């Protein structure tokens, strides 16, 4: 099949864009962009009970969030429309009538049914799985001995999936059908219809299943499945893109964290792994953290800000210079944008610190020790984290204390957390005036 590569993503608008659908869309998008071809969005909305315009919009919004742009579709048009199946009923009826006229199909009431012939080779070559043998005789019901003929048009006038997809893919000049492994069983029936209509078949590439860690098919029990759930949890679209690309494929050189340009450059259908992929949250978190760390502050702040604001943290007066230093200090902390916001709130406000830590664990003896250290420390104002640490060590040695006796409570009083970046790096960023204000709150100064 020569000419321009044309691939499609054809979701049913019966729910939000889930991870499995996003994975299929991404692998199609990559092939189109790698080959300089076209990526088409087609809406398969013949399920009249469950399909809604709202779900269609949600699917498109999810794809836009992942930056999977399409060249043709219901909203942007194109030369091969309409791009909703409910707007293509005349086309399905036209070719059903052709098959009726040729004696290849028959009517049963208002339904049109294709009569499956015996002894036909309906095997096909798969770009991932190789050649798959199949004979039309396999469609005979083993229990009754009756051939399972293929319904084309149901009695309600709407096409079945296996019929409509053949008509659409042919008329839209789709060159490669890239979809989930669960569609392999549908393909022989579609091959039959291509042969019946005398049409050239597209190339098929079936993608490996995505499994949960328990090696069962991915479902809601394995965690969030809608792409919007990941957005709301603080994952970046580039991270989800990166992670999904690795479910069945990988660039050369064992690279795990990469951008779209590298994926588009190196992606090849024949490099797709046949083995099922495991959806591993630890791997996703690792990738997301890597992308967060590499992201410029000017891009990071607008993402962190909504999470801060939802926590009641006013970040409107922060300078870009301060943010640059704050995010540099937090580098490698927070697997998601949401976690980064939570782990860094003390760099923006003291209110959340006071809400987390009340100082009730400090004994009178410990308070006396801390008052002595903190009063001298704030008065001396060591210039940088190195001199602050040297001051603290010397003070503790002179007073028979251990460094942790002053560093740990200082960490709690300044951050509200047991774990944070180096506490003296935090002191340097907050400044001595703010440090003193927080220590006074706990009665230490």
Q: What is the pTM of this model?
A: 0.92
CATH 3.30.260.10 is the classification of domain 6-83+210-278: no
Q: Is 98 exposed, middle or buried (0-12, 13-18, 19+ CB in 10 A)?
A: middle
Between strands 130-132 and 124-126, the pairing is antiparallel
DSSP 8-state secondary structure symbol assigned to residue 43? B
- Which pLDDT value is given to residue 164? 98
CA neighbor of 423 nearest in space, from 385, 374, 384, 395: 385
Dihedral in degrees, nearest 10, Cα atoms 20, 23, 29, 30: -160
Q: State what percent of residues in the chain have pLDDT above 90.
A: 90
Average pLDDT over residues 212-225: 71
- Give 303-350 pLDDT, tens digit per residue: 999 999 999 999 999 999 999 999 999 988 899 999 999 999 999 999
The pLDDT-based confidence of 143 (bands split at 50, 70, 90) is confident
- Which pLDDT value is given to residue 222? 60
For CA atoms 316, 320, 325, 330, give the dihedral sign.
positive
Whether 123 has a pLDDT exceeding 90, the answer reads yes
Side-chain-side CA neighbours of residue 69 (13 Å): 5
Copy the structure tokens of residue 49: 């009970």
- Which pLDDT value is given to residue 218? 75
Q: Please list the active-site residues.
A: 220
- Which pLDDT value is given to residue 181? 93
Give the distance from CA 20 to its chain's centroid: 9
Q: Is 299 exposed, middle or buried (0-12, 13-18, 19+ CB in 10 A)?
A: exposed
- Which pLDDT value is given to residue 224? 59
Which of 88-102, 152-166, 200-214, 416-430 shows the lowest per-residue confidence on average (mean pLDDT)?
Answer: 200-214
- Which pLDDT value is given to residue 142? 78
Whether 172 has a pLDDT exceeding 60, the answer reads yes
Average pLDDT over residues 255-269: 97
- In terms of phi and psi (left: phi > 0; alpha: psi -120 to 50; beta: otherwise), the region of 439 is alpha
- Which pLDDT value is given to residue 3? 87
Mean pLDDT of the chain: 94
- In terms of phi and psi (left: phi > 0; alpha: psi -120 to 50; beta: otherwise), the region of 401 is beta
Beta-strand runs (E) in 92-209: 105-108, 111-114, 124-126, 130-132, 150-153, 176-180, 203-207
Top CATH class, 88-207? alpha beta
Q: How many residues belong to the chain?
A: 445
Residues of the chain within CATH 3.40.50.620 domain(s) are: 6-83+210-278, 88-207
Reported as type and span, the H/E element at residue 206 is: strand 203-207
- Which pLDDT value is given to residue 214? 81
CA 131, CA 73: separation in Å to the nearest integer? 32
Q: Cα angle vertex 18, ends 14, 22, to 5°?
A: 115
CA 31, CA 37: separation in Å to the nearest integer? 8
- Which pLDDT value is given to residue 144? 84
Whether 86 has a pLDDT exceeding 80, the answer reads yes
In the numeric block, the tokens 């495991």 are attached to 278
Q: In this structure, which CATH number among 1.10.10.350, 3.30.2350.10, 3.40.50.2300, 1.10.10.10 belongs to the domain 355-441? A: 1.10.10.350
CB 379 within 8 A of CB 274: no
- Which pLDDT value is given to residue 1? 47
- Give 366-410 pLDDT, tens digit per residue: 999 999 999 999 999 999 999 999 999 999 999 999 999 999 999
CATH 1.10.8 is the classification of domain 295-349: yes
Residues of the chain within CATH 1.10.10.350 domain(s) are: 355-441
What residues contact residue 361 under an 8 Å CB cut-off, 6+ apart? none
Number of Cβ atoms within 10 Å of the Cβ of 171: 14
Number of Cβ atoms within 10 Å of the Cβ of 123: 14
- Which pLDDT value is given to residue 2? 58
CA 189, CA 194: separation in Å to the nearest integer? 9
């Amino acid at each position: 099949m020569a000419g321009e590569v044309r691939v499609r993503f054809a979701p049913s608008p019966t729910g939000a864009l889930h991870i499995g659908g996003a994975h299929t869309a991404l692998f199609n998008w990559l092939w189109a962009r790698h080959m300089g071809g076209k990526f088409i969005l087609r809406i398969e909305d013949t399920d009249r009970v469950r399909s809604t315009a709202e779900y269609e919009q949600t699917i498109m919004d999810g794809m836009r969030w992942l930056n999977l742009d399409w060249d043709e579709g219901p909203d942007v048009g194109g030369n091969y429309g309409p791009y909703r199946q409910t707007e293509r009923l005349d086309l399905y009826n036209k070719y059903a009538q052709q098959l009726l006229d040729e004696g290849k199909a028959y009517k049963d009431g208002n339904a049109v049914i294709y009569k499956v012939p015996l002894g036909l080779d309906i095997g096909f070559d798969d770009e991932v799985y190789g050649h798959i043998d199949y004979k039309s005789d396999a469609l005979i019901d083993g229990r009754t001995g009756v051939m399972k003929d293929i319904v084309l048009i149901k009695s309600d006038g709407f096409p079945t999936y296996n019929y409509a997809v053949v008509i659409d893919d042919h008329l839209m000049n789709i060159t490669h059908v890239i979809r989930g492994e669960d569609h392999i069983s549908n393909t022989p029936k579609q091959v039959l219809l291509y042969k019946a209509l005398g049409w050239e078949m597209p190339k098929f590439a079936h993608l490996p299943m995505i499994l949960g860690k328990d090696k069962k098919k991915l479902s809601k029990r394995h965690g969030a499945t809608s792409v919007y759930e990941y957005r709301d949890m603080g994952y970046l679209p580039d991270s989800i893109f990166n992670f999904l690309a690795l479910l069945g494929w990988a660039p050369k050189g064992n690279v795990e964290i990469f951008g779209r340009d590298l994926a588009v450059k190196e992606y090849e259908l024949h490099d797709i792994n046949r083995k099922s992929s495991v959806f591993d949250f630890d791997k996703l978190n690792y990738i997301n953290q890597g992308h967060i760390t590499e992201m410029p502050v000017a891009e990071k702040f607008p993402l962190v800000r909504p999470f801060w604001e939802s926590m009641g943290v006013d970040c409107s007066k922060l300078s870009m210079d301060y943010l640059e230093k704050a995010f540099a200090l937090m580098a490698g902390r927070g697997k998601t944008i949401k976690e980064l916001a939570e782990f860094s709130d003390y760099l923006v406000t003291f209110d959340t610190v006071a809400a987390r830590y009340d100082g009730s664990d400090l004994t009178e003896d410990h308070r006396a020790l801390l008052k002595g250290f903190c009063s001298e420390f704030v008065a001396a104002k060591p210039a940088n984290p190195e001199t602050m640490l040297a001051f603290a060590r010397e003070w503790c040695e002179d007073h028979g204390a251990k460094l942790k006796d002053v560093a740990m409570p200082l960490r709690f009083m300044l951050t509200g957390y047991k774990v944070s970046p180096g506490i003296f790096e935090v002191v340097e960023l907050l400044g001595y005036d703010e440090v003193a204000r927080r220590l006074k709150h706990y009665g230490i100064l």
